[in-house]
Structure formats: structure tokens, C-alpha cells
């Protein structure tokens, strides 16, 4: 008797919960008709995006790096692990878009991934490089001179080669994915075996990761046995040391009027080894590291540091709670799963706001996916890449960013396709509307991918203002063309 009563009580409680959620959902949908509520939604969505960006910086990357450190993963595999974390917004967007009814939302999911990919290979590395360009301070250069010159030059050469191999691998798989999708989606319908074929190509990518790791070890062993290279690297480092000394000489001479006590600079510069404390005594206020928390003359923070500080204050409630809740050091796996859940809920809300935004602005849903969703999810990759560049971990950052692009096309999209087929109980689903062709979506992105790869290869990923500006111009041209192509697109 008591058992039956408990079961009835549990069933009644469950039904009340369901009814409450249904009422909340109905009220939320009713409020979408209010312009005032919509404006509030947009502002709050921006605040949510800001929180997600800071969560990515303070918690997502550290948790993944702690996981990689715990299991002693290689740098390349660590980049893949970080890419999985970066792909959480794309995963949520793709799954929710495909599971919603109607071909419009399925098309929305495809377009959002293409837009994110184009933004990721052009704008993200460009902005990250421009944000860190010239941020290497003189003390860091002098510290590098103090260390083993041969070892530094050798490590730099090895990292450069491995980084370029990794970039060629990921960009090659991205270009291959675009070609495969263009062929398969030409008819606007995808079948079960085609989705399985795309999903199966992930195995090739996994094998390529193992191959690159093995090849990287071979390169490292070969280069360690190259005496000629060691001699060249020693000469290059001697030239680099002289260049650093000349830079310091020039900068200190410019500040002589403010620091007359540095008259004996030439005597100091002729010493064979420069100690860090001596270097610091020679530096003027403007030469001190910008991110230093202490300043002997009470200098102010850099403008970007102030902005970040104010943004963190604005998001302090979320950051404070997560600092006390997430076990980043003891259980990084649990911390990562909690962050994934946070991103899933937040992205679901943002996707709803975007849908309402398309109604109010009367813009094409494909254009909304290419612009709004792409810019909404890419700040995570951008922040992680900026952090990686500042920490001299550009290879790790680029691996995570480009691997996220590859995983989106070989893992997220086919997985969403298979889930939708299973949900509907069919072996085929419509992906594109008859008014849209795969060429319209794929060809511009394919052209951008080829041109971006050419810039990467030409510069060796040593992007400067010119090459970064070229990538930004490339993205601007892409968006202008897509806006023109979709100018008469029906809502």
C-alpha cells in the first residue's frame, strides 16, 4: 500500500514538473512578441557570450591542459583535446539545429559550421597575432639570450617544422571535407551510408594525427644529429644576441634624457654575459613588461589590461562561483564536463535569440548562420589562441583551432545527421532547400581555404600586419559575396 502511494506521489511530482516546464516554455514563447523583451534578450545574450569567453580563458583551457598533463599527452594530441573543448558551441548549435523540425534549421546548422570555419581560419589567427604583435618585451629577449643558444635555436626549428606539418594536415582535411560535402549535398538530400562515410573519414584523420606524431619524433632525432645545423644556429643566435644588444642600446640611448645615470652604458654592454638584474636596472619605465603587476614608479595598466579587468568585474558572480565549485586540479575531467553543460545550456539560449533575431531583422536564416552564429561561437577559439600566442604556445593554439574545424565536419555534422535519421526512423534526410545549392555555400569557402593556406605557407605562419590584414580582407570579401548571393533569399 505504501509502495503504491509512493509511486503515485512520484508520478504526480514528475507530472507537475513537466507541466511547470511547459508553462515556462509557453510564457517564454509569448514574450518573444514583445520588442522590449527582445532587446533585453539581445543584451543578456551578449552578457552570456562574455561569460562564456571568460570561462573559456579561466577554466576551459586549464581543465583540458590539466587532463593532458595528467595523462602525459603529446603536444599535438593536447591540441586535439583543446579542440574538442572549443567545439562545444558548434556541437550544441549543430545538434539543436538538426533535431528541430524543418529543413530550414538543418540548413542553418550546415551554414553555421561553414561560417565558423571560414571565420576561424581567417579572422581568428589574424586578430590573435595582431593582439600579441610586439608584446614580447625586452627582458624576455634578454632572458632568451642568457639561455643555451644552441638548444633554443634547435627547439625553434623543430617547433616550426612540426607546426607547419600540422597546419598542412588540418587545412588539407578541411579542404577535403568541403569537396566531399559539395558532392554529397549537390542533390540536397543525404543518405544513411553517406553520413556513415563522412563519419568514417574521421578514422583517417586520427591515423594522420598518429602519423604526424611519429614523424615529429623522427624529425627531432634527425635534427639533434645535425652538426651543420648546430653551427648555423650558433651563428644565428650570436647575430640575434647582437641584435638584442643593439636594440637595448638604441632604446636606452633614447631615454638618456630621463635617466642620465646610464652614461656608462657602453661599458656594461661589452660584458659577455648580461644578468637579469643588471638588465632590469638598465630598463626605463616604458620598457618594463606591460602585464607586470608591480611598477616601481606606480605606472598604470595597459589599456587592454584595464578592459579585461573591467570585463572580469562584470562577470565576477559567475567566475567567483566557478572558482569555488570546479575542481580544476583534483578532478579536471569533472570540471570539463560541468563546463560542457554550461556551454550547452547557454548556447541553447543564444540559438533561440538568434532565431528571434532573424524574424525581427528579416534577414536570411543562412546569412544569420554565417555571421551571427559564427561570431557568437568563435570568441572562444580567439581567446584561446591569443593566450597560446602570449605563452609562446602558438603551435598548440593553432592545432586546437584548426582541429576544431576538422572535427566539426567529420564528427559533429555527420553525428547530427545520424541522430536525426534515427529520430525520424528514416535512412535519408533533406539538408538543403531546393532554392539553395551546395555550390553557393561551398565554393566561396573553398576559395577562402585555398587562399588562406597559401598565406600560411608563404609566411610560415609568421604572420605580420600585412599578412594578417590580408586574411581579414579575405574574410571581408567572403562576407560581401555571401551577402550579395543571399540578397533575395526568402525568409
User: pLDDT tens for residues 341-383?
Assistant: 888 788 778 777 877 777 777 777 788 777 777 776 666 666 6
pLDDT band at 195; cut points 50, 70, 90: very high
Q: What angle do the packed helices 35-55 and 379-390 form, to 10 degrees?
A: 30
Mean pLDDT of the region 249-277? 46
pLDDT exceeds cutoff 90 at 123: no
Query: Minimal CA–CA distance to 233: which of 140, 162, 165, 156?
Result: 156
pLDDT at residue number 105: 75
CB 274 within 8 A of CB 147: no
Is 9 inside any structural domain? Answer: no
Q: Grid coordinates in use for 6?
A: 509512493
Least confident span in 276-285, 459-468, 481-490? 276-285
Q: How far is CA 403 from the centre of its chain?
A: 10
- Domain count for the chain, please give it: 1
Least confident span in 30-39, 189-198, 255-264, 426-435? 255-264
Query: Minimal CA–CA distance to 118: which of 373, 325, 335?
Result: 373
Q: What is the mean pLDDT of the chain?
A: 73
pLDDT exceeds cutoff 50 at 191: yes
Is 332 inside any structural domain? Answer: yes
What are the pLDDT digits (tens) for 274-310? Answer: 444 444 443 334 334 334 344 434 444 555 556 667 7
Is 170 inside any structural domain? Answer: yes
Is 313 inside any structural domain? Answer: no
pLDDT band at 11; cut points 50, 70, 90: low
What's the whole-model pTM score? 0.69
As a three-state string, the secondary structure of the chain is CHHHHHHHHHHHHHHHHHHHHHHHHHHHHHHCCCHHHHHHHHHHHHHHHHHHHHHHHHHHHHHHHHHHHHCCCCHHHHHHHHHHHHCHHHHHHHHHHHHCCCHHHHHHHHHHHHHHHHHHHHHHHHHHHHHHCCCCCHHHHHHHHHCCHHHHHHHHHHHHHHHHHHHHHHHHHHHHHHHHHHHHHHHCEEEHHHHHHHHHHHHHHHHHHHHHHHHHHHHHHHHHCCHHHHHHHHHHHHHHHHHHHHHHHHHHHHCCCCCCCCCCHHHHHCCCCCCHHHHHHHCCHHHCCCCCCCCCCCCCCCHHHHHHHHHHHHCHHHHHHHHHHCCCCCCHHHHHHHHHHHHHHHHHHHHHHHHHHHHHHCCCHHHHHHHHHHHHHCHHHHHHHHHHHHCCCHHHHHHHHHHHHHHHHHHHHHHHHHHHHHHHCCCEEECCCCCCCHHHHHHHHHHHHHHHHHHHHHHCCCCCHHHHHHHHHHHHHHHHHHHHHCCCCCC
The parent domain of residue 431 ranges over 54-304+319-485
Is 127 inside any structural domain? Answer: yes
Is 330 inside any structural domain? Answer: yes
Most confidently predicted of 68-77, 110-119, 295-304: 110-119
Is 472 inside any structural domain? Answer: yes
pLDDT at residue number 127: 82
Percent of the chain's residues with pLDDT above 70: 64
Amino acid at each position: 500500500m505504501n509502495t503504491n502511494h509512493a509511486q503515485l506521489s512520484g508520478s504526480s511530482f514528475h507530472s507537475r514538473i513537466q507541466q511547470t516546464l511547459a508553462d515556462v516554455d509557453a510564457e517564454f514563447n509569448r514574450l518573444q512578441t514583445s520588442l522590449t523583451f527582445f532587446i533585453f534578450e539581445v543584451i543578456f545574450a551578449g552578457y552570456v557570450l562574455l561569460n562564456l569567453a571568460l570561462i573559456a580563458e579561466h577554466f576551459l583551457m586549464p581543465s583540458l591542459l590539466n587532463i593532458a598533463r595528467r595523462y602525459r599527452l603529446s603536444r599535438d594530441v593536447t591540441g586535439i583535446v583543446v579542440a574538442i573543448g572549443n567545439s562545444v558551441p558548434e556541437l550544441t548549435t549543430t545538434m539543436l539545429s538538426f533535431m528541430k523540425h524543418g529543413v530550414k534549421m538543418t540548413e542553418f546548422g550546415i551554414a553555421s559550421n561553414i561560417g565558423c570555419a571560414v571565420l576561424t581560419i581567417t579572422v581568428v589567427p589574424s586578430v590573435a597575432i595582431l593582439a600579441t604583435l610586439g608584446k614580447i618585451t625586452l627582458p624576455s629577449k634578454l632572458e632568451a639570450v642568457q639561455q643555451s643558444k644552441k638548444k633554443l635555436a634547435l627547439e625553434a626549428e623543430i617547433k616550426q617544422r612540426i607546426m607547419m606539418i600540422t597546419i598542412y594536415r588540418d587545412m588539407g582535411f578541411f579542404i577535403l571535407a568541403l569537396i566531399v560535402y559539395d558532392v554529397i549535398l549537390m542533390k540536397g538530400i543525404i543518405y544513411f551510408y553517406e553520413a556513415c562515410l563522412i563519419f568514417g573519414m574521421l578514422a583517417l584523420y586520427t591515423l594522420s594525427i598518429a602519423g604526424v606524431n611519429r614523424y615529429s619524433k623522427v624529425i627531432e632525432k634527425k635534427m639533434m644529429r645535425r652538426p651543420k645545423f648546430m653551427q648555423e644556429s650558433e651563428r644565428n643566435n650570436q647575430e640575434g644576441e647582437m641584435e638584442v644588444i643593439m636594440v637595448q642600446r638604441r632604446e636606452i640611448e633614447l631615454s638618456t634624457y630621463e635617466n642620465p645615470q646610464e652614461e656608462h652604458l657602453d661599458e656594461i654592454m661589452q660584458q659577455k654575459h648580461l644578468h637579469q638584474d643588471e638588465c632590469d636596472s638598465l630598463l626605463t619605465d616604458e620598457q618594463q613588461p606591460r602585464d607586470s603587476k608591480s611598477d616601481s614608479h606606480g605606472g598604470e595598466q595597459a589599456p587592454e589590461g584595464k578592459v579585461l579587468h573591467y570585463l572580469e568585474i562584470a562577470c565576477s558572480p559567475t567566475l567567483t562561483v566557478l572558482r569555488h565549485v570546479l575542481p580544476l586540479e583534483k578532478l579536471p575531467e569533472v570540471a570539463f564536463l560541468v563546463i560542457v553543460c554550461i556551454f550547452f545550456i547557454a548556447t541553447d539560449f543564444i540559438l533561440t535569440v538568434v532565431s528571434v533575431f532573424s524574424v525581427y531583422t528579416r534577414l536570411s536564416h543562412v546569412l544569420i548562420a554565417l555571421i551571427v552564429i559564427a561570431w557568437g561561437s568563435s570568441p572562444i577559439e580567439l581567446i584561446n589562441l591569443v593566450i597560446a600566442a602570449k605563452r609562446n604556445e602558438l603551435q598548440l593554439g593553432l592545432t586546437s583551432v584548426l582541429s576544431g574545424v576538422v572535427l566539426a565536419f567529420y564528427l559533429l555534422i555527420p553525428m547530427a545527421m545520424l541522430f536525426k535519421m534515427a529520430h525520424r526512423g528514416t535512412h535519408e534526410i533533406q539538408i538543403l532547400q531546393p532554392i539553395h545549392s551546395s555550390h553557393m555555400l561551398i565554393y566561396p569557402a573553398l576559395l577562402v581555404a585555398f587562399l588562406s593556406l597559401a598565406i600560411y605557407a608563404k609566411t610560415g605562419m609568421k604572420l605580420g600586419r600585412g599578412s594578417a590584414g590580408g586574411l581579414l580582407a579575405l574574410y571581408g570579401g567572403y562576407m560581401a559575396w555571401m551577402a550579395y548571393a543571399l540578397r533575395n533569399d526568402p525568409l
